[in-house]
Amino acid sequence: MKTLIVEDDFTARLVLQQALSRHGECHIAVNGLEAVEAVRMAIEQGDPYNLVCMDVVMPEMDGPAAVWRIRAFEEARGIPPAARTRIVMTTIVEELGGAFQSFRQLWDGYMMKPVDIGELMGHLQGFGLI
């Protein structure tokens, strides 16, 4: 399993990294721009990410904007919905409503922060990744 963690906070990143690196290759991006670039490169190299854990509020480019771009890129490359990268948003309670929900068709799951590893593993099992 190849994972991209998109998270600007060091501590939160550490948790995800520790948990996910046990299941395969694990890359880090610290803002949405880096994430979009990483996903794009992975797809172009023919080795796309199986999972992206995406923070919502980040500098430079926030999570939803990055997800939009990633999905747009996948659409443009003709990747069918079933084959697209799984995206799990990591978020805090007050980001859950409003604008966040209006993009729900774009991501595959979300987790409340601070991240519960049990919940994360639940998502991975749901996606059939572990």
Looking at the Cβ atoms of 44 and 60, the one nearer to another protein is: 60
The footprint of another protein (CB under 8 A) covers 8-15, 17-19, 28, 30-31, 33-34, 57-60, 65, 68-69, 71-72, 75, 92-93, 97-99, 102-103, 106, 113-118, 121
Beta strands per DSSP E along 62-108 = 86-91
Nearest approach in angstroms of CB 71 to another protein is 5
Backbone angles phi, psi at 71, to 5 degrees: -65, -40
- Cα(50)–Cα(123) distance, rounded to whole angstroms? 12
Nearest approach in angstroms of CB 122 to another protein is 11
Secondary structure of residue 8 in the 3-state scheme: coil
- List the structure tokens of 114: 């601070």
* 97-106 exposure pattern, b = at least 16 Cβ within 10 A, e = fewer: eeebeeeeee
Looking at the Cβ atoms of 9 and 108, the one nearer to another protein is: 9
Looking at the Cβ atoms of 24 and 59, the one nearer to another protein is: 59
Nearest approach in angstroms of CB 100 to another protein is 9
Nearest approach in angstroms of CB 15 to another protein is 6
